[in-house]
Amino acid sequence: MCQLMGMNANTPTDVMFSFAGLATRATEHKDGFGIAFFEDKGVRLFVDPESALHSPVADLVKRYPIKSSHVIAHIRKATQGQVRLQNTHPFVRELWGRYWVFAHNGDLKDFNPRLHGSFRPVGDTDSERAFCWLMQELAKAHASVPTVDELTHTLAELLPQPARHGTFNCLLGNGQALWAHCSTHLHWLERKHPFGAAHLADEDLSVDFGALTSPGDRVAIVATQPLTRGEDWTAFGAGELRVFVGGASSGYG
């Protein structure tokens, strides 16, 4: 399966440590990678159809301490769609004057919704098709710009629909919040004061967050599988939706 990672924080934070752990999983997930960093209303998007283990773009991300409050990353193992740049997650669209970023882990069978608005796939993946449908339905559901709570309620109604067609673990963000939906495998973690040391699960690398943070900092991490050892990761339940704002989490469903 593909590997997902999301970060949501109450202050701009770099994800060099977490992304280094995610990238090591590209041994089995070699069909491209991507990562999106929100910065105010803008998005820095890095995507490459090459494996994250060998991509110069991935090396740049590992070494460049981009600070963001909202990050979505994806390591691809292709199921539908060729290994091409246009099929590389995360995908980005604009709605209500904001960029929306989406990444999906899973495989949807016979999910061919009618797309009649301005959201159309560029590639040929089930993931981008589901994202376009989701943006279309969000736009239809709200006559004006909704709050995060209103969006969460709407997403709780929409996300189970593509999930009926297969595995639909996904991350969705708009720079205000990060939404995570689980079909099968997804885990989350909150880091807050008192911060301690963390050790990557797949690489001999550790970091002391206590030396790098302030007492008021709060960071939430979402990943397909726990990225670190010795931290209190929590597994999502099947069909669970969680929203992360300011590094704090609340569940829905």
Give tens-digit pLDDT for 140-150.
999 889 999 99
Distance CA 117, CA 111 (A): 17
**Would you call 170 a catalytic residue per the annotation?**
no
What is the Cα–Cα distance from 23 to 180, expressed in whole angstroms? 20
Q: Pick the catalytic residue from 2, 132, 170, 182.
A: 2
The CATH number assigned to the domain with range 3-252 reads 3.60.20.10
> Is the pTM higher than 0.85?
yes
| Number of neighbouring beta carbons within 10 Å of residue 233 | 18
Would you list the domain boundaries of the chain? 3-252
- pLDDT at position 37: 96
Q: What are the tokens at 251? A: 């569940």
pLDDT tens-digit readout, 148-170: 999 999 999 999 999 999 999 99
Residue 92: pLDDT over 90:
yes
What is the pLDDT at residue 248?
A: 92
Integer Cα distance of 34 and 215 in angstroms: 31
Does residue 52 contact residue 94 with C-beta atoms inside 8 Å? Answer: no
> From residue 42, how far is each of 45, 99, 216 by CA, in Å?
10, 7, 25
| Cα–Cα distance for residue pair 169/5, rounded to 1 Å | 11
CB 2 within 8 A of CB 223: no
* pLDDT in the model for residue 30: 66
